[in-house]
Structure 1
């Protein structure tokens, strides 16, 4: 009888990535307990944005930790989506994830710098900073959904497309809630800077989505 060799994809690096992101989240909770509790109910209560939407908000350590958690899980979620729906970019899955993480990180940094530059040029720094903090906070909150989906796709229901679709619905719902609340709370400022707000939406929000959508379609 000849031995039958079976190959198993190593989950060690995936486990380390997910565990590291969980440690980042736990550190944020440990260091900023009250802030974390307000953050957890963000889609249902805008208290977090109201309390912490002030000077230095984007450079606060809690915001930085949660943004790091979001970047890791966003990149990992895209990595899993790519492997389920498309062909991997590299033979080494770790290199594939590293590339996606680098692209996501670079994209968000460049986008943020462009937004801040636009605010400086058109003298709407306060509005742009409010938009950035509000949008990033809700995106960070939706990364909790990404983390749960990542764990399910890696350890429980591997390659389950329904998990991806459900996660996308929840992620979009959370961020739409954030956008609606933002426009409601800043409607007077948005109306007075309506032209700049439309320019901001077209160039820095809609255009990137169209480009990414066209890439995925091709």
Structure 2
């Protein structure tokens, strides 16, 4: 009987990123089991936000791990959307990924700094930190959908529009639940500052999405 030599193909960059994402999830689950379990049921039970919405929450290791996971998968998902629905570009996919990753990372960091600065000026640091933590937590949870979708889109149903649209519906639904709970829990503050709330939505929530959408289209 002759030995059979198996040749393992070199892992491409997308596979490496998805594997790294899986390691981040495993690390988060291993180091923070209770937080991870509460995080998984976030859209159905707000226990994660209630229990862990404390001082220093934005810079806890669990939150940072999930945010890195989110940035990687939202960038991969946006890259697939660009490839399937918009104009093909001559740039390599890896280059496009890093451009999108840079845009999302800079946007989220800049928005958080502006919000924290606004909280410092108006002496509402605690409230602003709660709002930021709530929104990022739901976005991080929706990145689980992106992660599963990325695996399907890269290896099972490649570039499937049905998978993308289904994932978008789920992502929007999860973040809509988070927004609804956020408005419900802080309705008194929002009503008393309704004009500033609308201005905030237009400048820090909707406008960046338009900018990113324009980049993907071009």
TM-score of the pair, normalised by structure 2: 0.89
Q: Distance in 1 between matches of 2:197 and 2:148?
A: 34
Q: Deviation digits for residues 123-173 of structure 1, max 9, x if unmatched?
A: 322222111000000000000000000000000001111100000000000
Q: Deviation digits for residues 19-57 of structure 1, max 9, x if unmatched?
A: 001101110110000000000000000000000111001
Q: 1:212 to 1:97 in 2, by over 3 A?
A: closer
Q: Does residue 125 of the first structure (1) align with residue 125 of the second (2)?
A: yes
Offset, 1:93: 1.9
Q: Distance in 1 between matches of 2:117 and 2:150?
A: 34
Segments of structure 1 that go 5 or more residues without pairing to the other structure are 1-9
Q: 4+ residue runs of structure 1 moved beyond 6 angstroms?
A: none
Are the aligned partners of 1:89 and 1:96 in contact in 2 as well (CA < 8 Å)?
no
Q: Distance in 2 between matches of 1:217 and 1:80?
A: 12
Correspondence for 1:51: 51
Q: Distance in 2 between matches of 1:171 and 1:34?
A: 24
Q: 1:90 to 1:119 in 2, by over 3 A?
A: farther
Q: 1:214 to 1:103 in 2, by over 3 A?
A: closer
CA RMSD of aligned residues (A): 1.8
Are the aligned partners of 2:58 and 2:64 in contact in 1 as well (CA < 8 Å)?
yes
Offset, 1:213: 4.3
Q: Distance in 2 between matches of 1:74 and 1:116?
A: 24
Q: Deviation digits for residues 160-202 of structure 1, max 9, x if unmatched?
A: 1110000000000000000000111111232333343233222
Q: Matches of residues 1-218 of structure 1 in structure 2 within 5 Å? A: 12-214=12-214
Offset, 1:215: 5.2
* Structure 2 residue matching 1:96: 3-state secondary structure: helix
Q: Distance in 2 between matches of 1:180 and 1:31?
A: 30
Correspondence for 1:7: none
Q: Distance in 1 between matches of 2:202 and 2:103?
A: 21
Q: 1:88 to 1:100 in 2, by over 3 A?
A: farther
